[in-house]
Amino acid sequence: MIRIRNVTFRQLQVFESIARTGSFTAAADELCLTQPTVSIQIKKLSESVTVPLFDYVGKKLQLTEAGEALLDSYLIISNELSRFEMTIANMKGIKQGTLRLTGVTTTEYFAPRILGTFSQRYPGINLILNVTNRASVLERIGNNQDDLYIIGGVPPKDLNVHVIPFLDNPLVVIAPLNHPLMKKRKILLKEIVSEPFILREPETGTSAIVHQLLREHKLSINLRMVLGSNEAVKQAVIGGLGLSVLSKHAVVHEIVNRELVLLDVVGFPINHQWHIVYPFGKELSVVTQTFLTYLLDEGKEIAEAHLYGNFSLPSQLKNR
């Protein structure tokens, strides 16, 4: 018999963290618990529901059918508690609570700066930033798991969401220092496609835009390597393995420190936009409304100050 009254909310929080991160270790790190404590919490939860919640397929941890059902129930409970928290905050008219943001990987280069100044102004607000790939962000939007989402480009049309542009996201061609093309101006696209290229996975927005551009010009690329993170791509380019296309936000540090250069390629930078996204019909809390107003009014200036500030190589950052 299911002993649901023995289930604690803490056990459900641990369970959700494991389901989301795919790892007991990652959940322990996220929740600041020891791994044995996490294991004990899940053991007690499984005993209460009388069926296994996780299973291993090879080395991969997956939810069982019962685990999937419990996760759905937990998300409903969590959303209702968030609504209650929002109601109390609205009644009090105070700026405190939790703000949950999820963004694609490149947001890690500008979102923390925006959140830092926001946190100084509203110290009572607890901030949670989840950075992941585009597919995971879109999945979380569909499941309404967070308050707001940051993505590059426009989300798929089948997602019923508000889409608000708030920041430029120029895509640039990067090369290692002292590359033969670094001093050349007005480089044609057909001149660089024979160079070895390093790109992100096809599912990423940047990679999709590059391939679309190539199709429009009926060109093919000399793809040497596909890597799973912006940092890996940058290190490969610095190491002389090829050229790449990344968001200018992602390469400010390397340009300033003369590890990378921007190439003056015709058609670049590709003008792209960062968007803030949330589902239609979603009731925004006072905290979320406060952050959204701040983001649109001041967040852009903070991000652009970092991107176009007084760096040692202003021409590389401002003119290309």
| pLDDT tens-digit map of 219-265 | 888 889 999 889 999 999 999 999 999 999 899 989 988 999 999 99
| pLDDT above 60: residue 312 | no
Banded model confidence at residue 159, pLDDT cuts 50, 70, 90: confident
Dist. CA 202–CA 8, nearest whole Å: 41
The answer to whether residue 316 sits within a structural domain is no
Residues 307, 203: contact at Cβ < 8 Å? no
Q: Check residue 314 and give its pLDDT.
A: 40
Compute the chain's Rg from CA coordinates: 23
Number of domains in the chain: 3
Share of the chain above pLDDT 90, in %: 37
With 0.75 as the threshold, say if the pTM is over it: no
Q: Check residue 1 and give its pLDDT.
A: 57
Do 184 and 242 share a structural domain?
A: yes
Do 279 and 215 share a structural domain?
A: no
300 lies in which domain range? 96-168+273-307
Q: What is the mean pLDDT of residues 155-183?
A: 90
The answer to whether residue 153 sits within a structural domain is yes
The answer to whether residue 80 sits within a structural domain is no
The answer to whether residue 41 sits within a structural domain is yes
Do 123 and 192 share a structural domain?
A: no
By CB atoms closer than 10 A (0-12, 13-18, 19+), residue 66 is middle
Q: Which of 94-108, 127-141, 262-276 has the lowest mean pLDDT?
A: 94-108
Do 50 and 178 share a structural domain?
A: no
Q: Check residue 311 and give its pLDDT.
A: 43
Q: What is the mean pLDDT of residues 69-79?
A: 87
Domain end point (choices 37, 56, 71): 71
Q: What is the mean pLDDT of residues 44-65?
A: 88
Do 253 and 204 share a structural domain?
A: yes
Do 278 and 131 share a structural domain?
A: yes
Output the average pLDDT for the chain. Answer: 86
Which tens digit of pLDDT belongs to each residue from 94-123?
Answer: 567 789 999 998 899 899 999 999 999 888
Do 197 and 57 share a structural domain?
A: no
Dist. CA 130–CA 126, nearest whole Å: 13
Q: What is the CATH number of the domain that holds 45?
A: 1.10.10.10
Strand order in the sheet with 148-152: 125-132, 97-104, 148-152, 273-279, 161-168
The answer to whether residue 28 sits within a structural domain is yes
Which tens digit of pLDDT belongs to each residue from 30-45?
Answer: 888 898 999 999 999 9
- Which residues fall within 8 angstroms of residue 265, CB to CB, at 6 or more apart? 173, 187, 188, 189, 192
The answer to whether residue 91 sits within a structural domain is no
The answer to whether residue 89 sits within a structural domain is no
Q: Check residue 292 and give its pLDDT.
A: 93
Cβ atoms within 10 Å, residue 303: 23
The answer to whether residue 189 sits within a structural domain is yes
Q: What is the mean pLDDT of residues 198-209?
A: 86
Q: What is the mean pLDDT of residues 203-212?
A: 85
Do 252 and 182 share a structural domain?
A: yes
Q: What is the mean pLDDT of residues 207-223?
A: 88
Do 243 and 112 share a structural domain?
A: no
Q: What is the CATH number of the domain that holds 218?
A: 3.40.190.10
Banded model confidence at residue 92, pLDDT cuts 50, 70, 90: low
Domain end point (choices 71, 87, 115): 71
Do 177 and 258 share a structural domain?
A: yes
Do 216 and 158 share a structural domain?
A: no
Share of the chain above pLDDT 70, in %: 92
